[in-house]
Homo-oligomer: A and B are copies of this chain.
Amino acid sequence: MESIDKVNGTFGKRPIEQKTNVSSAVIRRLPRYHRCLGELLRAGKLRISSAELSAIMDVTASQIRQDLNCFGGFGQQGYGYNIKFLYNKISELLGVDEGYNAVIIGAGKLGRALAATHMFERRGVNRLAMFDIDPSVIGTRIYDVPVYSIEELGKFCKENNVHIGVLTVPKEAAYEVTNVIVEAGVKGIWNFANMELRLDNPDVIVENIHLGDSLMTLCYEIKTANEKREQND
């Protein structure tokens, strides 16, 4: 029951605290705006109307105007929004490009897959290092990220001002690793360890990722759609 008894706290995402005049509901939509605007920028587009953005985002144009006005993104009649301005403003609000430092703990399949993505750089997060217990990977580089021994984890985090720990360790090891990095000053944990990580320390933010829940939801929706089709036949 060890693993279960620890799982007795906040599930899923913590509520976002309202620090500016931007509501938490707007904040929750910002990563999507950021993603869409980033794609538009990369496609060379400079301006966009709320109607166009509405079609892309599947949010009403009026909702978009409301959302963007919250942080000074005022469109001009017949001219639209400046995409670069909005993108930068949202980046700033979200803490992108704060230059946060991250380490990936666990150099297994998932750790490697995460190291390989552009997800971190795109959000201005530096992947400084990976940590593992396997002597055959320690001392190597995985997608140009150096792999160190888990023994050096705490010291490394302290000395390199690490903000984010990405947990891809087996769930049995999650609390032990978490204690080490929190002790070393890490303030955010991105948890892929397939268990709900619950900390008593209110200073540490945890984002639990449960891909399996998403797979289940998909199965449920397929089943429901099938039942509906059978009823209609």
Contact = CB atoms under 8 A, between A and B. Distances in A.
A25 interface: no
A71 interface: no
Total copies of this chain within the assembly: 2
Describe A's contact surface by its main secondary structure. helix
Given A43-B1, A58-B10, A119-B211, A203 B216 contact: no
A82 B156 CA distance: 47
Interface residues of A, number: 80
B7 A56 contact: yes
B94 A8 contact: no
Interface stretch (A33-41, A61-69, A175-183): A33-41
A75 interface: no
Interface in A121-137: 122-125
A223 B95 contact: yes
A200 interface: no
Interface string A197-208: 000000101010
Interface of A: 1, 3-4, 7-14, 16-17, 19, 27-28, 30-32, 34-36, 39-40, 43, 45, 55-59, 93-96, 98, 100, 108-110, 112-113, 116-117, 119-120, 122-125, 163-164, 187-188, 190, 195, 203, 205, 207, 209-229
